[in-house]
Amino acid sequence: MLLHNTQKHGGPHVSVRAERVGTALRFVVEDDGAGFSAEDATRAFEPFVRGRGATPDEQRGVGLGLYLVMRIAQAHGGSAFIEKSAAGTLTRVGFTLEHA
């Protein structure tokens, strides 16, 4: 679901990364798409919330993609996140799962 969302809304450059952080596995998708406004980022994981229509593809869909990413992560003891890269130019969206 996360990769599908990135394909639909992300820019032409996409990277996917998995990393261990303490006892958690962190999966991160980073792209150079339009990203999220601060307000949109705070609501992005709510059901039926879509972007503000900055690009034509945001007019499609019902706004469940990131909500489902979050719910699946939570069902497995994890969480989902949105963050900016250190340079502030790329958007990172991902999830963490606890690893025993």
pLDDT in tens, 39-55: 888 898 999 887 665 55
- pLDDT surpasses 70 at 100: no
- pLDDT surpasses 80 at 60: no
Domains and CATH numbers, the chain: 2-98 (3.30.565.10)
The pLDDT score that the predictor gives to residue 17 is 94
* Cα dist from 51 to 84, 86, 87, 99, whole Å: 17, 23, 22, 32
The pLDDT score that the predictor gives to residue 50 is 78
